[in-house]
Each structure stands twice: as C-alpha cells, then as structure tokens.
C-alpha cells in the first residue's frame, strides 16, 4: 500500500496554525474536508463544539484553607449518540486542550462505529499534591458542578490521565446521591462491584496491542521478532507493554514514565517491573532498583531508540519537528491522544514511517466503556472472555475499514480514519437536519 500524507499546504505554511493539539486536530480536519463533498454548513458544525462548560471547583484542603480549581466539560458532538469522553486531572489542562480532546472523541467513536458523540473534561490541578480526602472532595464538587449536562443519554464521562476507577466511583456516587437513585450508567470505568465492566481496566492497552499486531501483520512482520519501546507506564502504556510481551511474544526493550526511562536491547524484565509498579503505587520508574543490566535513559532518548515499533502512550505533543527526523521505528502506534504534531506527522509520512493514529489505536477504552454502559442500562453483565472477544472484533473491523479507505484513496491511515469518521458524523447531522 502506498501511504501518501494528505497535506493541504506546506509544513512551513502550517507551522503557526498547527500550534498545540487543537491546531493539529483542526488542521487535519480541514485537510479532510477538502477530500469530502461536505457543504460549508456541515464543515462549520463539525469544526466547533456543541457546548462548553467552565466551572469553579472550591475545595476545602486538610489544612482548612479553601482553594478554587478550574474545571471544564466540552461536548463536541451528540450527532451520533450521547457524548462520551474521559476526565483528566493535570496542571496543564485548559479549555483548548479539552476542546481538542473532545473533537478526537467524536472522531474516535465514529471511526469505531459506536453510537456515541464526543466530549472531554478535566480540572487544572496537580493531583499528586492532594490527599485522598482532598481528591475525593475535588471530584465530588466537580461532578456536582457539571452534572446539569451529564446523564446516561446525554454525556457519559470516563477515566483519563490521573483519574481511575475509584474516582469514577465517587463520580457515580455523587450523581446518584443528588438524583436520589442509583445511576451507574452516568459514568464508565467504574470498579466491577459498582457496575464496571470486566476488561475495562486493560481495554485501551489491549486495543493498542491489537492494533500494533494487526499493523505488523499487514506489513508482513512477525510480532515475535519485534523490538518495542513504550513511552508512559500508566494505564495505557503498562497494559499495552505487558499484553504485547505476554500474549504476542514481543520484546519490550524500552519503557518510560514522567521520571525517565529504562532500556535493555535484549528485553526488559517486565514481570519484575510490573510487580514493582503494582506494589509501590505513586513511585516512579526512576526508583526501580536496576539489576545492573538496564540503562537509564531520558524520555527524549526513548522516543528515538533503534526499535521496530514506538508506542507513545503518555501525553500529547511528544513527537514534534524537533525529533521526527530522528525517530528510528518503522511503525508508530499512538497510545496517547495527540502525541504527534501535524508538522511531525508530515515528516513521518515522508520518511515512510507507518502511523496507526490515536483515534483508531487507543479506541479500546471507549469500546469497552460502551460495553459497560450497555451492561449498566440492562443490568446484565458479560464475562471477561465475552468482553475481550467483542473488543477484538470491533478493533479489527475498524482497522479493516480504515485500511480499505487508505488503500482506495491512496492516503495515510490518519487521513483515512479522519475521513471515515467525518463522513459518518456528517451523514448523521445531515439526516437529523438542523433544529428548529
């Protein structure tokens, strides 16, 4: 298959407009509009969020002092179903980032053909500086503040960076207490005991592993021979690395987190590393006692390692014009949302590096979130094996559909995924018509 990057203008011309995640996503969207026969009205609708909410979140800290944090919830589209998207706690969260992530969610749900629109939320906060009680009060107040626009048929949050099943449990409990009824369908990624789904915790990492192996298969490469580096050892990176190693026999040679990375060209001791991470919550990889055969490397070094597959699974804007020329991997699978800037993407395509885009590669989480929501609405729960089968089937169907578009249009996989998604969202808006 010939992969040709869709580039509306030159890299230099896009340097300013492509700033930040929102710029990258909108630039890519515009380039796809030019390939599709979408009218101006539809383009305008898809280019901006339906609804945005900014809230003040006052929290009484353990020392008695009240501090006010800023929270957001952006609903990009409800054309194809209720809005769906995670909640992120991070110091650099701002409205533009949440807008970009909400747009990506609309596209992700459309490319996997889930009956959802897209949303995202977050609080600008460093949660590592909060006690458990402060974290709970922050979550409950934020949930109450955005509750007017949430609901199982309106908008359904889920975990993202620095949020987890426990936080989703507080979220669900807050909404249920205020509504006076148990409402498990209001949020996904909950603990199993509270209506969570089997297989949700590792779903995004498993989806990343499935799309990595599928990409390798289509390129004629045996996963067992592959050397893989993973940036980020949180929910996505941890499970992606472990599933690729244990279930597909890949060699994980590099991993990293915010504290830095570890490298061994012969393969990392993942079992011992995973035990360390599981038994020392809150500790970073830098405090892992090396057995003497591991090299400590920086995140920048990890991205440019001599590997076959690179999986950025940490945060956005990691592969930029500053390092795209030095990426040695032949395949890049985007576990994180928006890890590659628009300009870097063009460089990767020109260098013949195959990129499995975020809206396809990391869709495993929202696929199992969808299964969780369906189970909650029916009060009927699936076995782990059933969830895994469904996840596998939906991921592979989406991959095949994106691949077919890429082949028939002779375009790269990201452009193909965007094209398929925008087409589906456009059709839904068109068929519903414009109210009133």
Residues at the interface with ligand NAD (CB under 6 A): 159-162, 204, 231-237, 256-258, 299, 313-315, 335-337, 362, 365
Structure tokens at 341: 């800037």
Three-state DSSP state, 407:
helix
Minimum Å distance from CB 232 to ligand NAD? 3
Q: Which is nearer to ligand NAD, 199 or 232 (by Cβ)?
A: 232
Q: Which is nearer to ligand NAD, 81 or 426 (by Cβ)?
A: 81
Of 359, 377, 380, the residue nearest 113 (C-alpha)? 359
Residue 351 to residue 333: CA distance in whole angstroms: 16
Q: How many residues does the chain have?
A: 436
Q: Which is nearer to ligand NAD, 136 or 334 (by Cβ)?
A: 334
Cβ contact 54:121 at 8 Å: no
Minimum Å distance from CB 99 to ligand NAD? 14
Residue 306 to residue 286: CA distance in whole angstroms: 22
HSE-CB for 113 with a 13 A CA cutoff? 12
Please identify which of the residues 120, 153, 190, 330 carries the catalytic annotation.
120
Cβ contact 309:253 at 8 Å: no
Minimum Å distance from CB 275 to ligand NAD? 16
Residue nearest to ligand NAD (CB): 234
CA pseudo-torsion sign 285, 287, 289, 292: positive
Q: Which is nearer to ligand NAD, 119 or 336 (by Cβ)?
A: 336
Q: Which is nearer to ligand NAD, 214 or 372 (by Cβ)?
A: 372
- In the chain the first and final C-alpha atoms are separated, in Å, by 45
Residue 58 to residue 72: CA distance in whole angstroms: 14
Minimum Å distance from CB 208 to ligand NAD? 9
Sequence-distant (≥ 6) Cβ neighbours of residue 292 within 8 angstroms: none
Minimum Å distance from CB 342 to ligand NAD? 17
Sequence-distant (≥ 6) Cβ neighbours of residue 221 within 8 angstroms: 308
User: Residue 284: how many CB atoms within 10 A of its CB?
Assistant: 14
Catalytic (active site) residue 120: yes
Q: Which is nearer to ligand NAD, 112 or 231 (by Cβ)?
A: 231
Minimum Å distance from CB 160 to ligand NAD? 5
In 112-222, where does DSSP find H-type helix? Answer: 132-146, 165-179, 203-218
Q: Which is nearer to ligand NAD, 285 or 405 (by Cβ)?
A: 285
Cβ contact 357:345 at 8 Å: no
Residue 292 to residue 278: CA distance in whole angstroms: 21
Minimum Å distance from CB 295 to ligand NAD? 17
Residue 40 to residue 300: CA distance in whole angstroms: 41
Question: Hey, which residues are catalytic here?
Answer: 120
């Amino acid at each position: 298959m010939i992969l040709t990057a869709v580039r509306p203008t030159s890299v230099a011309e896009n340097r300013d407009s492509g700033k930040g995640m929102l710029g990258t996503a909108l630039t890519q969207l515009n380039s796809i509009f030019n390939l599709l026969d979408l009218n101006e009205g539809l383009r305008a609708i898809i280019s901006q969020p339906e609804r945005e909410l900014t809230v003040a979140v006052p929290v009484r800290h353990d020392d008695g002092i009240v501090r006010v944090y800023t929270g957001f919830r952006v609903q990009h589209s409800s054309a194809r179903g209720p809005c769906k998207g995670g909640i992120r706690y991070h110091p650099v969260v701002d409205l533009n980032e949440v807008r970009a992530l909400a747009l990506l969610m609309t596209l992700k749900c459309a490319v996997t053909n889930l009956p959802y629109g897209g949303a995202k939320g977050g609080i600008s906060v460093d949660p590592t500086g909060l006690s458990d009680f402060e974290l709970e009060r922050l979550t409950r107040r934020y949930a109450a503040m955005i509750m007017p626009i949430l609901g199982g048929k309106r908008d359904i949050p889920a975990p993202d960076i620095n949020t987890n099943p426990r936080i989703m449990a507080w979220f669900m409990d807050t909404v249920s207490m205020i509504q006076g009824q148990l409402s498990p369908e209001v949020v996904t990624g909950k603990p199993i005991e509270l209506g969570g789904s089997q297989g949700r915790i590792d779903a995004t990492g498993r989806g990343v592993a499935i799309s990595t192996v599928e990409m390798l298969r289509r390129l004629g490469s045996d996963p067992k021979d592959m050397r893989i580096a993973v940036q980020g050892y949180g929910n996505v990176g941890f499970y992606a690395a472990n599933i690729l190693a244990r279930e597909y026999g890949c060699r994980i040679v590099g991993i990293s987190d915010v504290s830095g990375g570890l490298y061994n060209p012969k393969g990392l001791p993942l079992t011992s590393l995973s035990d360390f991470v599981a038994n020392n919550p809150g500790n970073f990889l830098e405090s892992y006692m090396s057995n003497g055969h591991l090299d400590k490397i920086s995140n920048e070094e990890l991205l440019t390692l001599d590997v076959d597959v690179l999986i950025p699974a940490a945060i956005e804007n990691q592969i930029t014009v500053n390092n795209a020329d030095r990426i040695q991997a032949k395949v890049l699978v985007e576990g994180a949302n928006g890890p590659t800037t628009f300009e870097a993407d063009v460089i990767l395509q020109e260098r013949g590096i195959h990129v499995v885009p975020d809206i396809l590669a990391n869709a495993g989480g929202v696929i199992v979130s969808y299964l969780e929501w369906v189970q909650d609405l029916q009060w009927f729960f699936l076995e782990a094996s059933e969830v895994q089968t469904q996840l596998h089937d939906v991921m592979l169907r989406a991959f095949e559909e994106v691949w077919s578009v890429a082949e028939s249009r002779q375009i790269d996989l990201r452009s193909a995924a965007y094209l398929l998604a925008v087409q589906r969202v456009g059709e839904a808006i068109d068929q519903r018509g414009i109210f009133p």
